Amino acid sequence: MESDGGKERFECPLNFKPMAVYDGTMTSDPDLEVWLIKAPADFNPESFTNHRFPLAGCKSQKVKVDGVRRLYSVAAAPCTDTPCRALLPQDNASGDRLVCAPLFQGVITISDAHGDSSAVHPIPDRQPRAVPEGLKLRYSPFGSVNPSNKRKGEEAIVHTTKKKKKKRKRVEENVNV
């Protein structure tokens, strides 16, 4: 913001282009739709010439910019729930007055997509869980490895002995019917 005789004036931030002064001609055309487009700072709009995108949904688009192929992710959604408007300076000598532009029909978000999402990438193997040294567990969790049972390069075989169950003596009775 810039101070001008007690009044503060809006100053366009770096990496933004100020829009031309709004003269009200957009509202006179009933077939005109206004969309809010969010794009990266280095985005070149001419790279999307002759490309079509859905006005609701998401699409990945490969384009060539200055001889370099880039992959962009384009997401579009209509503004039906929360109507949005832009405040633009009106065409007059002072330029102090702001006017509401027509409602945005939707929002288009263009972002850099890094890599090809359709390519198959291997999932790395998960390391087995290890019990920290000096910790004595009362039970072995599934998938854990006890370092004391492992020798270098080979696994120790753990022998478990089962207790024999005592047989119950059944008492048989004669039943007369």
Residue-wise pLDDT tens digits, 79-109:
877 778 777 777 665 556 777 777 888 888 9
* Residue 149 within any structural domain of the chain: no
* Residue 171 within any structural domain of the chain: no
**Overall average pLDDT of the 110-132 stretch:** 76
Residue 155, pLDDT above cutoff 70: no
Pairwise CA distance, residues 108 & 74, whole Å: 7
Q: What sign does the CA torsion over 93, 97, 101, 106 have?
A: positive
What pLDDT band is residue 121 in, cutting at 50, 70 and 90? confident
What pLDDT band is residue 170 in, cutting at 50, 70 and 90? confident
Question: 45 or 170, which is more confident?
Answer: 45
Residue 71, pLDDT above cutoff 70: yes
Which residue range forms the structural domain that includes residue 76? Answer: 20-112
* Number of domain units in the chain: 1
Pairwise CA distance, residues 110 & 40, whole Å: 7
**117 CB contacts (<8 Å, ≥6 apart)?**
60
The model's pTM: 0.48
What pLDDT band is residue 24 in, cutting at 50, 70 and 90? low
Q: Check if the beta carbon of residue 107 is closer than 8 Å to that of residue 76.
A: yes
Whole-number pLDDT of residue 129: 76
User: What tokens appear for 98 in the block?
Assistant: 């702001």
* Residue 35 within any structural domain of the chain: yes
* Residue 78 within any structural domain of the chain: yes
* Residue 129 within any structural domain of the chain: no
* Residue 117 within any structural domain of the chain: no
Buried b (16+ CB within 10 A) or exposed e, 27-50: eeeeeeebeeeebeeebeeeebee
Pairwise CA distance, residues 89 & 96, whole Å: 7
Tell me if residue 149 falls in helix, strand or coil.
Answer: helix
Whole-number pLDDT of residue 1: 47
**Overall average pLDDT of the 23-42 stretch:** 75
Residue 14, pLDDT above cutoff 50: yes
Of the segments 14-28, 116-130, 142-156, which one has the largest average pLDDT value?
Answer: 116-130
Q: Where are the beta strands (DSSP E) in the chain?
A: 2-4, 7-9, 34-38, 57-65, 68-78, 87-89, 98-100, 104-112, 129-130, 144-145, 150-151, 154-155
Question: 162 or 25, which is more confident?
Answer: 162
* Residue 98 within any structural domain of the chain: yes
Percent of the chain with pLDDT over 70: 63
**8 CB contacts (<8 Å, ≥6 apart)?**
1, 2
Percent of the chain with pLDDT over 90: 1
